[in-house]
Amino acid sequence: MRALFLSSLLLAVPAGGPGPAAAPSPGSNTVVLASGAAAQKLGKRVDAYLEPYVALDLFQGTVLVARGDRVLFEKGYGLANVELGVRNTPAQVFRIASLTKVFTQVLLGRLVEQDRLALDAPLSRYLPGFPRGDSITIDMLRLHRAGIPNLNSIPFDEEASAPNTLDSLVRVIAKTPLDFPPGSRRRYSNGGYAVLAAVIEKVTGQSYADALGERVLRPLGLTHTFEEADGMLVPDRAYGYTASPSLRHGLVLAPFQQMATKSGGGSLVSTAGDLNRLLRAMYTDRPIQAGTWRTLFPPDSVFTYQGRCPGYNVFMGRDFTHDVDVVVLCNDYAAGMVGDVGSDLIAMASGRDVAKPRWRADVKLDASRVEPFLGTYQPEPGALPYGDDAVTLRRRGDDIVLVRGLQPLDALIPQGDDAYLLRNLWSELRLVPAGAGGAPGVTLRPLWFTTDAVPLKRVR
């Protein structure tokens, strides 16, 4: 299996699409469970697997598991609206963040088939005057090889008389130097997909939302998938939260996200059922030809795609060998493990054994044990994926909190043996007792990167 964080490749297998499921009642965490002992057993295994994440305030959302055209298990967990006590159900609509990019690629495929654009054509053909447009191709933008910086927002003024727009973002991107010469390397770029959205609008004469609806969403019957606009009321929306950064229990509201500049790369909302229908369409002739699917997503045994935006972590994947589809939509920004969850559920539905997550919520915090380690620590430049700034371990009431400046980042969740889970950073912090003549220290290990534990230097 070959998989990448946020994007993966596919295996070509013909598949049909499932019919629409009956809408569950919004009053409870409704379960859609196929008949039969195997499906019943799968449901219990999924519940048991997710229980540690639920207990740690890391998981709430919806899960769908299907084999072939049959949904085996679909269930809501936790709350869609914490303030009002509304439970998540399979009917909930979520922001799907970078899963939007899959839809954008399919739309590009439709436009190629309609002779509206060519993947190997220079950007300058569609956006004349864009800097280095003769050196950047549509395919480079699609594959994150154009050197376009990873921009997907610009400063938002709450007192402004008019909101930002996709066009205003693209103008900013055009004035920003490239990260590297076009085609020379790969670096993930939301900005590149904003430029693709601008190309789509130019060649169709429509908004990105209208072009996508006409050519992709309606042909697939995706009635709960659409582009969210700022200020839009989204029926059945699951609101976004994150684990409290200063308490071991509870959720807080996620940061604000402006939607006007997210077209192409992160602007869609959808449901687990709609995303399952998209997965079932792969390598059929819907809504693009099977050969176009193969061009856009070269064959592999497993397709996985992950996205994240303030308040949401989402995953969809298809195992073509076992004909299994999994969708995980989580309205919790701290759910950095959602890719692992999705991959484990694919393995579980394919008949493989999966270990229960090792993370625990029941270990008591011994604040006196951490006391000698309180202080400020500095990572080596570039050693951590979330910045080089110094961080401080500080006691706040009954909790120990990792703080940057005056901003709490994470409450330490004890795991035993001097290990602590950091939920919002999705990392493991370890206390390192003082050796001969040395001072006590700490290490940080990001859990969503294949990175060794990074020692932090105590500076005060």
Q: Are strands 427-432 and 312-319 parallel, antiparallel or unpaired?
A: unpaired
* Rounded distance between C-alpha atoms, residue 301 and residue 350, angstroms: 13
In 3D space, the residue among 97, 98, 62, 230 whose CA is nearest the CA of residue 158 turns out to be: 230
**Strand ranges in 43-120 using DSSP code E only, listed in sequence order:** 61-67, 70-77, 79-81, 86-87, 94-95
Three-state DSSP state, 48: helix
pLDDT in tens, the chain (460 residues): 333 333 332 223 333 333 333 344 444 577 776 778 888 999 999 999 999 999 999 999 999 999 999 999 999 999 999 999 999 999 999 999 999 999 999 999 999 999 999 999 999 999 999 999 999 999 999 999 999 999 988 887 777 777 789 999 999 999 999 999 999 999 999 999 999 999 999 999 999 999 999 999 999 999 999 999 998 999 999 999 999 999 999 999 999 899 999 999 999 999 999 999 999 999 999 999 999 999 999 989 999 999 999 999 999 999 999 999 999 999 999 999 999 999 999 999 999 999 999 999 999 999 899 999 999 999 999 888 888 999 999 999 999 999 999 899 999 999 999 999 999 999 999 999 876 556 789 999 999 876 789 999 999 8
* DSSP H/E element including 327: strand 324-330
Backbone torsions φ then ψ of 175, nearest 5 degrees: -90, -5
Which pLDDT score, from 0 to 100, does residue 6 have?
35
Q: What is the DSSP letter of 70?
A: E
Those residues whose C-beta lies under 8 Å from the C-beta of residue 296, and which sit 6 or more positions away, are 105, 106, 108, 109, 142, 288
Three-state DSSP state, 127: coil
The yes/no answer on whether domain 1-359 falls in CATH 3.90.180.10 is: no
Q: What is the pTM of this model?
A: 0.90
* Rounded distance between C-alpha atoms, residue 83 and residue 68, angstroms: 38
Q: Compute how many other C-beta atoms are within 10 angstroms of the C-beta atom of residue 4.
A: 12
